[in-house]
Amino acid sequence: MISKCKINKYTVFTKDGDSFYLSVFQDFMKNRLKVLKIFRSIEDTKVVLIETARGPMVLKIFVPQHKKTERFLKSFFKKDYYENLIKQTDRVWKEGVTSVNDQYLLAEKKIFNYTYIYIMLIEYIQGIELERYNVVPENIKKQIHDSIIQLHKHNMVSGDPHKGNFIVTDKGIRLIDLSGKKPNGLRKAKDRLDLEKHYGIQNDIMDYSYYRFILKRKVRQWMKRVKYKIGLRKKPN
């Protein structure tokens, strides 16, 4: 269960209402966290490994810098992406899908429903990133396929199952950086076709959503070519 509370000007969501995660967030606010490793540090995103009493955890700070006006307007009509993600993650974990990277805390600073600062506390997974493999072994491909199909059965999607979003551990494949978008048929079809694209894992579910996605992709490609011909965009790949 995800609990919700207010700390200073932040709306904070925590897994199982665990006060430990709140204390880690408060330590972050008071600059008392010990950083073990920096994974990413760019203009809008900082991702670091921190030390906690329960072992290493990942802290992510996201401050969107682009399309602010568009994001503000969309916030009146769309559900909160990261709030949805932490709730979906919690739900599938409780349903037994432990291949998914767990999320412990989400803190957001908002104006109305528009969030301009996100702070996330996430499970740290020890293992080998799949992108280090020049050739992905068949047994790992099977784990990737099975993990995505299991995820779909529990009504969640990866959104982008490329090599950077899988970690190989002693206990099997783990999925990271998942999608908080609505897990509809089109997004599930995209996941399966992305497995085909990245790993050569043949899609064996050709349902209505699969054909809709194929048609949608062809229309998009056709529109790109038309825009290129009339000089509205660069040559498509």
Q: Which domains does the chain have, with CATH numbers?
A: 1-124 (3.30.200.20), 127-237 (1.10.510.10)
Which pLDDT does position 59 carry in this prediction? 98
Q: CA angle 5-10-16, nearest 5°?
A: 35
164, two tokens:
């950077």
CB atoms within 10 A of CB 21: 24
Q: Using CB atoms within 10 Å of the CB of residue 71, give its burial: 0 to 12 exposed, 13 to 18 middle, 19+ buried.
A: middle
Nearest alpha carbon to residue 193 among 167, 173, 166, 212: 212
pTM, rounded to two decimals:
0.89
Q: State the amino acid at position 37 in one-letter form.
A: K
Paired strand residues for 119? 61, 107
Contact call for residues 193 and 213 (beta carbons, < 8 A): yes
Which pLDDT does position 71 carry in this prediction? 86
237 residues of the chain, pLDDT tens digit each:
999 999 999 999 999 989 999 999 999 999 999 999 999 999 999 999 999 999 999 999 999 988 888 888 888 888 899 999 999 999 999 999 999 999 999 999 999 889 999 999 999 999 999 999 999 999 999 999 999 999 999 999 999 999 999 999 999 999 999 999 999 999 999 999 999 999 999 999 999 999 999 999 999 888 888 887 777 666 555
CB atoms within 10 A of CB 191: 22
Which pLDDT does position 68 carry in this prediction? 84
Q: State the amino acid at position 139 in one-letter form.
A: N
Contact call for residues 113 and 75 (beta carbons, < 8 A): yes
Q: Report how far residue 41's alpha carbon sits from residue 49's, in angstroms, rounded to the nearest whole number.
A: 12
> Whose structure tokens read 């606010």?
29
Which pLDDT does position 233 carry in this prediction? 62
Gyration radius of the chain's alpha carbons: 20
